[in-house]
Amino acid sequence: MTAKLESRLRRTKDRRKVSYGDKTPVSVAEATAELAQDDSLAISPDLNLDGYEQESEGPGRIVRMKEHTADPMTVDDALYEMELVGHDFYLFHDKETDKPSVVYRRHAFDYGLLRLG
């Protein structure tokens, strides 16, 4: 092999190599370890969300509810809002059909649209 080819192969291998050390970000568990032990921040397990009764144990519980007002908008406006907030989907009230709809990001730069019937 030539020196140039060896150099390129070595450089490619180094790029794929996982490097550990100072560059790795702090894990969520490490960053929130002190908060998890602070009892003053604890939330009561009996907390009720606006009349919604929660089970006290088990996975799959609803732990957060939000309510938003939705002015009717076009699909283009919804795509703009989705990109503005940086999410992969956006629920909106479709101005054309007067129904709830969702725009979502697909592979590459494509989008999808779901309309409720």
Domain that holds residue 68: 3-115
CATH assignment of the domain containing 44: 3.30.505.50
pLDDT per position as a tens digit, 73-108: 999 999 999 999 889 999 999 999 999 999 999 988
Give the model's pLDDT for residue 32.
76
∠ CA(85), CA(78), CA(63), 5° rounding?
Answer: 55
pLDDT per position as a tens digit, 36-75: 676 666 666 666 666 555 555 667 888 888 888 889 999 9
Give the model's pLDDT for residue 115.
93
Give the model's pLDDT for residue 1.
61
Q: Which two tokens stand for residue 8?
A: 């390129």
Of 74, 80, 77, the C-alpha closest to 97 is 74
Q: Cα(111)–Cα(108) distance, rounded to whole angstroms?
A: 9
The answer to whether the CB of 82 falls within 8 A of the CB of 75 is no
Angstrom CA distances, 115 to 45, 46, 78, stand at 37, 37, 13
* The total number of structural domains that make up the chain: 1
Give the model's pLDDT for residue 38.
66
**Over 70: is that where the pLDDT of 3 sits?**
yes
